[in-house]
Amino acid sequence: MRQGNPEKAGCSGNMVKQKKNKPVSADDLAQQQREISISEFFLKNRHLLGFDNPRKALMTTVKEAVDNSLDACEEVSILPEISVEILQTGSARFRVQITDNGPGVVRAQIPRIFAKLLYGSKFHRLRMSRGQQGIGISAAGMYGQLTTGCATCIVSKTTGSGKAHEIEVQIDTAKNKPNILKEAEIAWRPEFPKPGAKVSSKPTSYAHGTRVSIEMEASYARGRLSVDEYLDQCAIANPHVTMHYRVTLLPKDTSHTSENDNDADTVTLSDWKTYERAIKKLPVQPKEIKPHPHGVELGALIQMLRDTSARTARAALCQDFSRVSSQAALEICKKAKLSPTSRPARISGADAEKLYEIIGQTG
């Protein structure tokens, strides 16, 4: 008996044909391209901002908020008073609330400052400050939004305003824009406990200030690299600050750790700890400086020549750089074979490169 080929027999009849993939064209690839929002980028790479794990996220949030409060107070010559309160709301959820007696934030700026990444007033200033990029506190709110779905709540009152603005806001990560969920005007003043006073005593209040509340997934632990250690060091480094700190944990929670085993049974820390200011004098504010010509790269030099308000190349070198006199600017132009009266915006790339080379050779 003649036997057929089993492979052919198995394939006969209902033969399954593999569908060939349609070739992808350049037009198809072009349709898949889209702009990536800075919020979307940091949402997927939050470890770059210090939100690697729940414990570090808690400390990063406190640090960013305290830094903002210190900068705001010092810029308007107010002796800072800050309260940091951490309240456990679930097994792995905490509400962080920071209050300060700073100048407050005007209504129009509140959503952008607290719910828009890369938005701030310090990035373009050439002076030392704690924060600069305009990312920190917005990133903390975004982390809270990601882990709990809760909005960031801000209450702020400026000097002379009758009522405070209360706003709940989230970040639209696709557009890096604030999304206001709730807004109201309320009667509010920042209040702080008096050191050594009874609980029933009247707190210290101010006519201006800001309070930020963020609920997030976090982990509280004492010891090294903790919020407690950070605030201890912050009080030492800033002796002009009065700072209040309180942690309240759930009664049955024993998840927090301690370096001292005898403290393992302590589950509620509800008393205010106050770091009183040691001096009543604000630190000297750093002065804004112009860039030194040796610290500027070629691309930055070309951009500065395009953006300068000076009408001549000589004036641009004197006006936009530090430690460049009128005579030194004239010599640089001559060595670069560039007319001192040239319009900065019209200087070609080759001439700018020659100018950059001569600047590097000038002592």
Does residue 240 sit in the same domain as residue 298?
Answer: no
| Three-state DSSP class for residue 155 | strand
Residues 6 or more apart whose Cβ sits within 8 Å of residue 143: 46, 49, 51, 57, 61, 216
- Please report, as a single letter, which amino acid is at residue 78: I
Does residue 236 sit in the same domain as residue 310?
Answer: no
The domain boundary, picked from 275, 303, 331, lies at 275
Average pLDDT (33-39) is 73
Distances (CA, A) of 255 to 147, 179, 213: 19, 35, 23
- Please report, as a single letter, which amino acid is at residue 31: Q
Does residue 100 sit in the same domain as residue 246?
Answer: yes
Structural domain of 306: 293-361
Does residue 148 sit in the same domain as residue 218?
Answer: yes
pTM of the model: 0.75
More confident residue, 173 or 261: 173
Strands 191-192 and 177-186: unpaired
From the list 95, 66, 96, the residue with the least C-alpha distance to 81 is 66
Is 264 a residue whose pLDDT tops 50?
no
| Domain of residue 257, CATH code | 3.30.565.10
| Domain of residue 347, CATH code | 1.10.8.50
Average pLDDT (55-69) is 93
* Contact predicate 215/147, CB 8 Å: no
Residues 6 or more apart whose Cβ sits within 8 Å of residue 67: 130, 131, 136
Does residue 73 sit in the same domain as residue 190?
Answer: yes
Is residue 241 left, alpha or beta, with left meaning phi > 0 and alpha meaning psi from -120 to 50? beta
pLDDT, tens only, 266-307: 445 568 999 999 999 998 887 888 888 898 899 989 999 999
pLDDT, tens only, 115-164: 888 776 665 666 666 666 657 788 899 999 999 999 999 999 999 888 99
Does residue 152 sit in the same domain as residue 248?
Answer: yes
From the list 102, 216, 222, the residue with the least C-alpha distance to 149 is 216
Average pLDDT (177-205) is 86
Does residue 240 sit in the same domain as residue 334?
Answer: no
Taken in order 159, 165, 167, 171, the sign of the CA dihedral is negative
Strands 242-248 and 81-90: parallel
Does residue 167 sit in the same domain as residue 239?
Answer: yes
Average pLDDT (66-94) is 93
Helix (H) / strand (E) containing 89: strand 81-90
Does residue 345 sit in the same domain as residue 246?
Answer: no
Does residue 351 sit in the same domain as residue 218?
Answer: no
Does residue 104 sit in the same domain as residue 131?
Answer: yes
